[in-house]
Amino acid sequence: MSQLAKIQAEYEQFPQEVASIMISTANEKGIPNASYTPFVMDEFKNIYIYVSGLSTHTVNIQSHPYVSVLFIEDEAKTPNIFARRRLNFDCTATLIERETDQWNQIVDQFQARFGEIIEVLRGLADFRIFQLTPTQGRFVIGFGAAYNISGDNLNQIVYLNKDNIPNS
C-alpha cells in the first residue's frame, strides 16, 4: 500500500474515532461562536447534528447557514500537541423536518451511536436536526502533512503544497 493510500484510509476512518465535533457559527452581525456537538455521518460525508433550539449555535445556523466543523484528535492520544490530527470542513446547513422518514432514520442512527439519551431528546420539541453538507475541507496529520478535500470529490485527499493552497 502506498503512503498516499495509507493516508487516504486514515482520512476515511478518522471521523469515526471521535464522537463529537467542534462547530463554528456566526450570528447575523458576523460575530463568531464556537461550540461542540455529537454527530453522525453518512456515506456521502454529510454530517448530522441534533441540537437544542435554545443554543447559540442553533440560532446562528438558522440565520446564517454556514458552519465550519472540526474533528480533532484527543489530546491524550497525540504525540505532539502542536501537530494533532484534525479534519475540518466548510459546510452549508439544512434543517431536517421533524417526524419525516429522513428525520426518523437519522434519530435512529443517533440512538444506535449514543444510546438512551436520544429517547429523552426525541421528546424535546426544541431539538432540531441539521444536515451539514461539506463543500471543502482539510485533513492534517502532522507538520507538513496537510491534504485538501474539495467538494468535487469529498472522498479523495490531495496533498497541500504552495501550488494548490485554496484562496478561502
pLDDT per residue as tens digits for the range 39-57: 999 999 999 999 999 999 9
Q: How confident is the model at residue 168 (pLDDT cuts 50, 70, 90)?
A: very low
Go through the domains of the chain in sequence order and give each one's CATH number: 3-159 (2.30.110.10)
Percent of the chain surpassing pLDDT 90? 84
Per-residue pLDDT, averaged over 108-118, amounts to 97
Nearest C-alpha neighbor of 56 from the set 33, 37, 39, 36? 33
Using CA atoms, how far apart are residues 4 and 7, in angstroms rounded to an integer? 5
Per-residue pLDDT, averaged over 127-146, amounts to 95
Residue 151 has pLDDT above 80, yes or no: no
Using CA atoms, how far apart are residues 43 and 34, in angstroms rounded to an integer? 26
Look at the alpha carbons of 139, 143, 145, 147 in this order and tell me if their dihedral is positive or negative: positive
Q: How confident is the model at residue 166 (pLDDT cuts 50, 70, 90)?
A: low
- Supply the DSSP symbol for 11: H
Q: Enter the pTM of the model.
A: 0.92
